[in-house]
Every structure is written in C-alpha cells, then in structure tokens.
Structure 1
Amino acid sequence: MNYLQQERLDALSVNYVLGGMRGKARQRFQRLLMQQQQVRETVWRWEQHLNPLAESLPEVKPDQKLWHKLQQRLGWQHADVVQLKPRNNWLHPANWVAAAAAACLALVLLLPPPAALPIELAVIQTKEAKALWLVSKQGDTVVLQASAAVPADPVHDYELWMLPTSGQTPVSLGLLPQRGQVSYPWPQAAAGLTVAVLAVSLEPKGGSPTGQPTGTVLHTSELMTL
C-alpha cells in the first residue's frame, strides 16, 4: 500500500488525529511520522482543522492518584514503612529541637501550597505491552526511567525523540538508560513545541551522529498529561 498517496494519507491522518487508529496500525503510522516529512505536514494540517472542535469540550483532569497507581503497577514505586517505638524523653535537648522543627513544619503546611506544575508521562512498551521505560516531564525537566525488561545492548544506545505537531523534524530528548534512571533538561530546540509522538531509535554508541534518527525506530508512545 502506498501510504504517501495524498488522498489515502489524508484519510489516515484524520483517523490518527481523531484517535480512531489503534494498536499496530497506529504504531506503523507513528513510524511513518518519524521518517516522512509529507506525513508530518499532513497530520499537522489536519490537527489545525480538527483540534479547535475539542476546545468547546469541558476539561477532565485525571485524579492525582493515577500517577501513583501507575508507578505501583509498573513496579517503580516501593514504600518501605519503618515502625518506630514511641519515647517519652522530652527533657532531652534534642527533643526540643525536634518540637521546634515540627512547629515550623506545621506552619509551612498551613500555608497555601504553590500551584503544582502539570506532569506529562508516557510508558514506552513492546508490542506485547511489556513496559520498558517510563518518561515523565514536569516543567523543564524530563526523567527517563528504565524497567528490568530493557534489553542490554553494549554496542548501541537507545535514543528518545519527540515529533512536534507542527510537522518539524524530530528533536532528540537524550539517550535512554538501559538500567536505572536519568534526567535531562527539556531541549531548547523543543521549547514551545507540542509533542505529537515520542519514538525510540537504535543508534550507535553515544547517540545519533547526525542529530536525526539514523537507526531502526523500535517503539513509539504518546505523552499523557496528569
């Protein structure tokens, strides 16, 4: 099938923008977004036509508990509770300091909290829905956290890219860790751009030598705002 035939590409782009494209078909189309400027421009054009229709809909914000539940389900949140025996030795000077600190803390808690920055997150997973990385963005920082399922590759790096809705070329967000987590500042080249899709490519050690994806596009995902 020739996906670049304009009439067919328009139909696919409308289906993609409206969210009707699912599963493997959506992943294939997102790979085309990475590779073809014509596809990015067509999707951007249809987003300009269709997105204003959503502005009249009421905003629905997911509960903050969703973030914690997601971390727990992915095995990336562990709560170790330590039981301490109560002590009544309030005459010790150290306890005076503790009491003063507690009073200061109570005062801070009574103050109105600052407005929380929205959290954007994406789970990058395999076709079998096995989670590989958790991507979270808050403010100007993006945190990339690997799961134990990430295949170790000593001679390549996994690189994360964002594709802007404007149809511009992909912007690198940094190398994904094969273990543990890393954090990067949000790149200046991506400032002010809206993310259409995230993609992971397999690159030479140290990342793409050209500043654009050069290896196979392995996975795609989309950011969700909490």
Structure 2
Amino acid sequence: MLTVIGIGPGSQAMMTVEATEALAAADIIVGYKTYTHLVKAFTGDKQVIKTGMCKEIERCQTAIDLAKAGHNVALVSSGDAGIYGMAGLILELVSQQQAGIEVRVVPGMTASIAAAALLGAPLMHDFCHISLSDLLTPWPVIEKRIIAAGEADFVICFYNPRSRGREGHLARAFDLLMTVKNPATPVGVVKAAGRKKEEKWLTTLADMDYAPVDMTSLVVVGNATTYVKDGLMITPRGYRL
C-alpha cells in the first residue's frame, strides 16, 4: 500500500484527521527532508527516508519499491499532494511500470487556501494557480498563462514566486499583468503560512517590493473588483448588499 499524503502548509493544526491517521498506519515515511521534519510529531520511531531538493523521481521510486516489497508506505507532500505535489508523479510511475500496488491519495490544505484565510477573503470569485518555477515548464509557456489569466481577470495565486535562481520572474509576471490590470490592483503576500515564521502583508501591483518574497511565499493578485478594507483583502462574490 502506498499513500500519498498532503500534510498542509506546515501547521499540525491544518493537517486533516485522514492525513494523521494515514501517517499513523504507515510503516515507512518517505519525503523531502523539510516535509518529514514538519510531521516529526506523527512519525515516532518509524523508519523515515529523507531526500533533498530535485530528487522527486528518486523519492517516488523509493516509495514504490518499498510498497511493492509489502510495506505500508506514506509519501508526504506539503500542501495538497495533487497541487504541485507528488501525487501525479507517483501515479505516472505506477502506471508506466505496471507496479501492481494500491495507491491512495490523501488531500491536504494547499498554500493558497491557507494564505487566503490569513489575508481575508481574496478567493471568493474565480481564481487560478500559476507556478513561476520554470524547472519543468518553459518560461514562454508560463508568460502566456500569466497574460491569459490577467486578461480573463482571474484572481491569481503565484506559487514558487521567487528564488535565488529566479529572482526576476515575479517582477516579470507583474510587468505582464500591469499591461492588462490596474496598477492599483491589491496584492497579498503570505510567507511561511502555518509555520513559526509566518508573515503577511498587503500591497499593490505597482508598489510591490519583491525582495522579501521567497519560495515559502504565496502571492495573491486580486481581480478588478478586489479591494482592501480594515487590513483585509476581499474579492466580492457578487451578492447584492
């Protein structure tokens, strides 16, 4: 049995009961070292196999091989395992290899949901997720999606917004959006949601300070109706008040 578990953004309080029960039932825990640390309270004396960044295929293959050997394996993924997580890669590998193992996916709270609750209610109308990492997606494709989302006036949640190797991607995304959106459009940023160093702040497209943003951050860009009131970012659903 192989269970792919979304452990949420980082706080144990944001983990689902299903996720904690799946961790308790597992014999072996596999995951990126940061994520295995986040669930340390639930792993006890179980065997924990940790891997570093850019070892996703190796990590998933290890979990599959252990499950094929008869172990009850939990592969942990931050947020929701099916949103920029390990669920898709696991299912691709199991299908290609005809591994003959049962795979179960346990959902978790993704970063945009956790961030939205901290900011107010910015996702009350249509929204989309766009990752600014071009490790697996060509940058021209990402730019095309940014422009399309801006023209469609979606609220946009940017994942993987800025890293040491991609310091200019978020600024480029904002430049593209300002060709189709009002520069005064509200923007909310949440850093390390659900973790000890959690931070949040509000700004606009034009006034954005990119320097504090990193890979633990989630950036929410509002739509044409989004506004800020009393420190809360709100996107109206359209009710007549």
Larger radius of gyration: 1
Q: Same fold (TM over 0.5)?
A: no
Smaller-chain TM-score range? under 0.3
User: What TM-score results when the alignment is normalised by the length of structure 2?
Assistant: 0.22
User: What TM-score results when the alignment is normalised by the length of structure 1?
Assistant: 0.23
